[in-house]
Chain A
Amino acid sequence: MRWLLLLCLAGAAHAADTLYLYNWNNYISDASVARFEAQCGCRVVRDYYSDNEEMLAKLAAGASGYDLLVPTGNAVEALIRSRQLRPLDKSRLPSLKNLKPEFLNAFFDPGNRYSVPYAYTVTLLGYNIEKLAALNLPTDTWALIFEPRYLAKLKGRVTVLDSQRELIAAAMRYLGYSVNDRDAAKWNRARDLILRAKPYWAAFNASSYIKELTVGNIWLAHGYSSDMFQARADAKKAGRPFHIGYSIPKEGAVLALDSMVLHKTGRSPELALRFIDFMLEGRNSSELTNLIGSGNPNRAAMRYIDPEFFQASADNRAIFPDASTLGRLEMLRDLDRRQRRILNRLWTEIKLR
């Protein structure tokens, strides 16, 4: 009984100086967190999600008390419209000037009243270089995951993201539509495309494809650039007899600009602002890119980033896309509840058939 009391007391003592961070999995460097904890004398409690919808749903389901979230643009839009965010006190963010102007004033938050760009990723294709070369397959088109003539060689070795929005977006781009097109007929065409390809896929997978690629179970995965970067590094470190590569399909893809925002229910907004400013410092920001290969919107970070990232290669173009590639990337917009339900039914159908 006595140790129970002690536990409660210990819990209470902690609560005062704790930053609750709700972030994508694999989306921050442990070293940065440890340094921040040492600097502020506080504790950072981390919780993870693997999809924006999952995060929004958990918040709608009453998850509260998070100080800081790192949602993607469309989710920021939903959070702002549902008045869940706290406006930023920019006088507390001197390092805001480090950000590249092209990443400010995005559609979801003009004037950046609520959000500070953190990092970006592109949803693309990661692949086992040796296997795809041996099979004589191209590596730069969505046809790889949608066209039976390619998939026949990859049967059971492909995973796609377990995300309604992302998978349909990939199909929409392949069909030549915008990812934000809400025409039900076009969605149906995307569904048909997906259903035709589905028998060849091994699984819908939101997170463990990194491991599956690294182990060699999976040869082609639809996923986030940062995850592919990690799979590549892991495979190298584990001395696998193959390499992992990734590239942005030529039809275009989804760009996810993830931003730091303060949630209204958080109890330590001060600490959260300190954390944001901390993450805006060049060195801290660069750590994320060096660690997980995420795109970096921070000018001051550039000189700390491993020079390897700036060599010309398909992999690097996916992390720091050139202007023409950027033109083919789109950010997702939020859907209203009726559109969500239509998409929900499509998705159920996709999952079931």
Chain B
Amino acid sequence: MASQRGERLTRLGATAPPTLFLLAFFLVPALIVVLASFQFPGEFGGLAPLADPGDGREHGLTLENIQFFFSDFLFTEIFLRSFVVAAESTLICLVMAYPVAWLIAKSPKQHRDFLVLLVILPFASNFLIRVYAWMIILGPQAALARTLNGVLGAFGFEPVSLLFSPFAVLVGMVYVHLPFMILPLYTNLEKHDPLLLDAAQDLGANAWQRFWRVTWPLSLPGVFAGSALVFIPVLGMFAIPDILGGTRDMLIGNLIKDQFLGVRDWPFGATLSIVLTLCVLALAGLAAWAGKARRTHA
């Protein structure tokens, strides 16, 4: 009896503190944002009051913000564009990460930790610094742009600018998120049983078939995990388009940031945040569903 109570106390002691903290600083704020998306903007920023302040100012709840969102295809278009950028980044990351993850997984055991460390190390610098590096590399005065434009010029093409372009944004996105793709892929590939490949070879499969029929399907959980880790952060990113982007590179993140820190329209910013959250949840649900479907299939 006493031990049962002790057990319950232990359970409470371990569960309550993190739960309470996260309820207070994660769940409640999230709900407040939902509420804010139905409020009026304050005249000078922030939110208009919920209760009547008694001086004729706007107050209470409204559907105006969500109506504003759908009043123009513009905002949906920004979401779509962000999805395209996220998908492109994920795909490029996948193509670049796979060989690295494979190489590490196939390396002798004593080298693997070192190679993994090599992948993590770039994390050791702040992500702004990593983005800034590309500002230097892609700048029009730098060797890369000069060489490229020299070659283009020789063939009679117009010079191109690398910095402040969708290309620069994509490079930045891939660069910052590449390790997020490599690590889960590696963790997955490392677990593959080499005997499977031997068996496939004995059955007459060539290298390509061995990859496509054996390794790739088995690595799909790693691919999904890595893709989620790249896709979702890219979707909300504002700093990279801010620093490397040109005149057309506005993504959802920038739009949301502007509502709060640029144009004093919190309720609309909250509305955009809610839509983004719904998108992310839908994606997560889709990934979970895909994973489950695969498992039952297998």
With A53-B263, A54-B261, A58-B261 already in contact, the answer to whether A352 and B74 are too (CB < 8 A) is: yes
Cβ–Cβ contact B74 & A217, under 8 A: no
Task: Bits for B245-285, please: 1 = Cβ < 8 Å to A, else 0.
Answer: 11110100011000111111110100000000000000000
Q: Which residues of B contact A82 (CB under 8 A)?
A: 43-44
Question: How far is A344 from B262 in the complex, measured between Cα atoms in Å?
Answer: 10
Cβ–Cβ contact A56 & B44, under 8 A: yes
With A348-B74, A352-B248 already in contact, the answer to whether A337 and B41 are too (CB < 8 A) is: yes
Asked if B186 is at the interface of the complex by the 8 Å CB criterion, the answer is: no
Asked if A59 is at the interface of the complex by the 8 Å CB criterion, the answer is: yes
Q: Which residues of A contact B163 (CB under 8 A)?
A: 217
With A216-B141, A341-B265, A345-B74 already in contact, the answer to whether A201 and B44 are too (CB < 8 A) is: no
* Interface class of chain A by DSSP: helix
Q: Which residues of B contact A201 (CB under 8 A)?
A: 246-247
Within 8 A of A (CB), among B155-184: 158-159, 161, 163-164
Cβ–Cβ contact B161 & A202, under 8 A: yes
Which of A57, A344, A347 is within 8 Å of B261, CB to CB?
A: A57
Q: Which residues of A contact B261 (CB under 8 A)?
A: 54, 57-58, 61
Asked if B45 is at the interface of the complex by the 8 Å CB criterion, the answer is: yes
Cβ–Cβ contact A56 & B140, under 8 A: no
Asked if B198 is at the interface of the complex by the 8 Å CB criterion, the answer is: no
Cβ–Cβ contact B77 & A352, under 8 A: yes
With A61-B46, A82-B44 already in contact, the answer to whether A351 and B264 are too (CB < 8 A) is: no
Asked if A103 is at the interface of the complex by the 8 Å CB criterion, the answer is: no
CB of A268 to closest CB in B, whole Å: 24
Asked if A215 is at the interface of the complex by the 8 Å CB criterion, the answer is: yes
Cβ–Cβ contact B246 & A203, under 8 A: yes
Chain A residues engaging chain B, CB cutoff 8 angstroms: 51, 53-54, 56-62, 78, 81-82, 84, 155-156, 164, 198-199, 201-204, 215-217, 336-337, 340-341, 343-345, 347-349, 351-353
Known: A81-B43, A336-B43, A344-B265. 11 other contacts (CB 8 A): A53-B263, A53-B264, A54-B262, A57-B262, A57-B263, A57-B264, A82-B43, A340-B263, A341-B68, A344-B259, A345-B74
Chain B residues engaging chain A, CB cutoff 8 angstroms: 41-46, 68, 72, 74-75, 77-78, 81, 139-141, 158-159, 161, 163-164, 245-248, 250, 254-255, 259-266, 268
